[in-house]
Structure 1
Amino acid sequence: MTASDELPGSAAHVLELVASGSATSRADLVRELGLAASTVSTRVQELVDAGLLTESGEGASRGGRRPRLLRIATQGAVALAADLGSHHIRTGAVGPTGSTCFDVDEHAFDLTAGPEPALDALAERLAELAERQRAAGRTVRGVGIGFPGPVDTDGGRIIAPSRMPGWHLFALRDRLTDRLGLPVLLDNDANMLALGEHRAAHRKLRHLVVVKAGRGIGSGVISHGRLYRGARGSAGDISHVRVDAAAERPCSCGNIGCLETVASGAAIAAALRAQGIAADSATDILRLVENGEPYATTLVRQAGRDIGAVLAVVVNFFNPEAVILGGALSGAEPLVAAVRGMLYERCLPMATRELTIDAAAFGPDAGLLGAGHAALRELAAGDGLRFPAGKRAP
């Protein structure tokens, strides 16, 4: 079971109902879930024992005994979270509400240097973060990781990531669990971004497409309020959709004409350098656009049109309530405006009539929120996060 697939009445479902405000007592949960009071009490007690829920005070009576109020624990249990980019490692801690992260830190690191150096750096950062949380009196329950490439979530492995030699089939989840002594959840970074934005900013919406536009391009899909991965985990991968603007350009995936070759931060930076304009990162691109550099602005606007052309097919097909643009390039207003323009130009009026198209509300923290929240929900679901064979939870 994954964090997005909890069963009705599971501990993870109970946690979600309390976190959303749909239930504030055991009696509320009985009514919401239609389960026996004894079953609900068992689930609640599991979450209280795990430090994810608290039960105290008294609510309003509905004719009988005044119920004790359930709340998400604001102190105590946390998950560590890491949002990996191709050239950075960002870490933080996330509490059970899943709406705020703290002790956030970011360091430059090149993931293309290979998995072993990245594992060392990531394990070091997370171990230091865990020590700080424990020193503050918090219990570290697990770790959530967002990786910038295809991920086998069940096997905890990286699958053939573009531009990252040596990572294919690397068992990052199990290797990191061995190093930290904590259960680890591993997923694609765009999926974690989608979970974070949905949880923290758009919880009432049921259907979203959340795009991560940075050095690369990806997207996560929320369907019926849950993360949708598809049959093999590749749902939302728009980066390798062929677009006319890319013509015959070779892509790192081995195909030609992919969206990533013209609309990603890496492609834009390369085009700028070819014209003698210094740009190595999405941050450099944003700075150039903010300073009014005409060629950079033109490239970013065209990237928005190319991304919007692909998303128009997605919107017509999936009919989401919102398209949210995250990642470093979402800070460029010309890109957001161009995506919005293409969607209104190419989508059915019924699909865009009430469609929200906006930049992500939580910026670079959204991926951390999603990873931490997913890890805590997985711990609350059934058997919790997986340990490698022969390992047991501390």
Structure 2
Amino acid sequence: MTAADEQSGSAAHILDLVASGAATSRADLVRELGLAASTVSARVQELVDAGLLTEHGEGASRGGRRPRLLRIPESGAVALAADLGSHHARIGAVGLTDAVFDTSEHGFDLTAGPGPALDLLAARLGELAEAQRAAGRAVRAVGVGFPGPVDTATGRVIAPSRMPGWHLYELGDRLRDRLGLPVLVDNDANLMAAGEHRAAHPALRHLVVVKAGRGIGSGVISGGRLYRGAGGSAGDISHVRVDAAAERPCSCGNIGCLETVASGAAIAAALREGGIDADGAADILRLVADGEPLATTLVRQAGRHIGGVLSVVVNFFNPEAVVLGGALAQAEPLVAAVRGVLYERCLPMATSALTIAAASCGPDAGLLGAGHAALRECAAAVPGP
């Protein structure tokens, strides 16, 4: 999303105001945006013509003609959304009011290369698109969260760890060609942060959202908007060096990264070294729930390692909230350890009003972020008056 797309009075901004209930009529938008009535009317009409808004019923009069009410169509536009992990994919359709339809989980091995992954993803999204059309919903766009660096301007994947063949792969263009729809691709942690912010913390302006699963990622919300940084790598805490990792080699080619001691993959590997069968986050959570001592210790240690890196982030960025998402955030020992380290190492001014909590949206946070971002891009493409 460019700065021009995000400006006051843009089509995307108008949709946000109506979806949030901040504006229910053209007159409300005129007052909210401070624009001429003719300008607002023209932009609203473009959105109505595109099927992104509808006018239905009449509101209370304020001394003149009763205004027609604006709303998001219940059976209107949806985006197909995919939240990809290295070994799984969650897909669903997301509406402008953040309703999520027809979610499903699929085995999905990104490490096998882009060809097989693209075939599977396109097939599943194509089936989802048909289901939405059969339900009377208009499919407008596709949003994809990818577990690695992404050039959001081009939809290309940039040098992801553990994923041979993906560097500079044009995932956005390839999916667009297969599905015949506009496609937005972004880092999965960024989109999870956007979804969690919109759905659970819309009043907050500054927060950090961590995705702790097989790997570790983080998204940053600054000034109420997703912040990607100069090159799109803002929030990448996975490859920060930590003392506990010592000289352990990391998939990024460096040594001593946080990911090597605090990710789900690292915890599962340590459990196997200890003679305990564990393949991924689901096994780790089961073991912790059963009170298995080594699993609980490793998860608590991972939380302390993550908290140590986040303490620098909190002191530097001073967010209003740190939100812990991803599969491992369901483990209370991890959340408690992160919280303890942040209170131990951060300045009192930085933590006095800081919220530290598990994510509220569960596995749909990434879908919400991907779907909403894709719909905003769709709205930004609506021609202005």
Into which bin does the TM-score normalised by the smaller protein fall? over 0.9
Query: SS where residue 161 of structure 1 aligns?
Result: coil
Q: Which residue of 2 aligns with 1:388?
A: none
Indicate the SS of the match to 1:306: helix
**Structure 1 residues 304 and 333: CA distance shift in structure 2, 3 A:** same
* Paired AA for residue 191 in structure 1: N
Does the 8 Å contact 2:58/2:69 carry over to 1? yes
Residue pair 1:10, 1:382 contacting (<8 A) in 2 also: no
Residue aligning to 1:377: 376
Moved more, 13-22 or 268-277: 13-22
Q: Report what 1:293 is aligned to.
A: 292
Question: Structure 1 CA distance, aligned partners of 2:306 and 2:5?
Answer: 29
Other-structure match for 2:44: 44
**Whole-Å separation in 2 of the counterparts to 1:3 and 1:97:** 23
Give 1:58-207 correspondences, 5 Å limit.
58-98=58-98, 100-207=99-206
Q: Where does residue 24 of structure 1 map in the other structure?
A: 24
1:149-170 C-alpha deviation (Å, 9 max, x unpaired) = 0000001100000000110000
The aligned counterpart of 1:225 is 224
Q: Distance in 2 between matches of 1:380 and 1:297?
A: 46
1:67 maps to a residue whose letter is P
Residue 305 of structure 1 corresponds to 304
Give the Cα–Cα distance (whole angstroms) in 2 for the partners of residues 383 and 67 of structure 1.
24
Secondary structure of the residue aligned to 2:362 is coil
**For residues 382 and 361 of structure 2, what CA distance do their matches in structure 1 show?**
31
Deviations 1:321-369 (A, max 9, x none): 1111000000000000000111111111111111111111111111011
The letter of the residue matching 2:371 is: G
Could you say which residue in structure 1 is the equivalent of 2:35? Answer: 35
Misfit runs of 4+, over 3 Å: 1-5
The residue number in structure 2 matching 1:9 is: 9
Bigger shift: residues 249-258 or 67-76? 67-76
Are the equivalent residues in 2 in contact too, given 1:3–1:375 (CA < 8 A)? no
Counterparts of 1:103 and 1:161, CA distance in 2: 29
**Contact between 1:81 and 1:372, CA under 8 Å: does it hold in 2?**
yes
In structure 1, what is the equivalent of residue 343 of structure 2? 344
Classify 1:238/1:4 alpha carbon distance in 2 versus 1 (closer, same or farther; 3 Å). farther
CA distance in 1, matches of 2:127, 2:33: 40
Show the counterpart of 1:257: 256
SS of aligned partner of 2:251: coil
Tell me if structure 1 keeps the 8 A contact 2:307–2:338.
Answer: yes
CA distance in 2, matches of 1:38, 1:84: 43
How far apart in 2 are the matches of 1:347 and 1:73? 46
1:277 counterpart letter in structure 2 = I
Q: Aligned-pair distance for 1:17? A: 1.1
- What amino acid is aligned across from residue 224 of structure 1 in structure 2? G
Structure 2 letter corresponding to 1:65: R
Q: What code does the residue aligned with 2:183 have? A: V
CA–CA distance in structure 2, aligned partners of residues 160 and 104 of structure 1: 29
CA-to-partner distance for each residue in 1:116-162, whole Å, 9 max, x for gaps?
00000000000000011111111100100000000000011000000
For the residues of structure 2 that align with 1:107 and 1:78, how far apart are their CA atoms? 21
| Distance (whole Å) between structure 1 residues aligned to residue 25 and residue 46 of structure 2 | 15
**Deviation string for 1:75-134 (max 9, x for gaps)?**
121110000000001110001112x21100111121100000000000000000001111
**How far is the alpha carbon of 1:22 from its aligned partner?**
1.6
Gaps of 5+ in 2: none
Superposed CA deviations along residues 273-328 of structure 1, whole A, max 9, x for unmatched, are 11111111111100000000000000000000000011111111111111110000
Q: Does 1:365 align with 2:364?
A: yes
Partner SS state of residue 148, structure 2: coil
Q: Which amino acid aligns with 2:231?
A: R
Deviation at 1:24, TM superposition (A): 1.3
Q: Work out the CA distance in 2 between the residues paired with 1:199 and 1:289.
A: 31
* 3-state SS of paired residue (1:102): strand
Q: CA offset at residue 54 of structure 1?
A: 1.7
Which TM-score applies when normalising by structure 2?
Answer: 0.97
Q: TM-score, length-normalised on structure 1?
A: 0.95
| Aligned equivalent of 2:321 | 322
Could you tell me how far 1:382 is from its partner in structure 2? 3.9
Work out the CA distance in 2 between the residues paired with 1:280 and 1:288: 11
Secondary structure of 2:58's match? Answer: coil
| Distance in 2 between residues matched to 1:124 and 1:20, nearest whole Å | 33
Q: What SS does the corresponding residue of 2:130 show, helix, strand or coil? A: helix
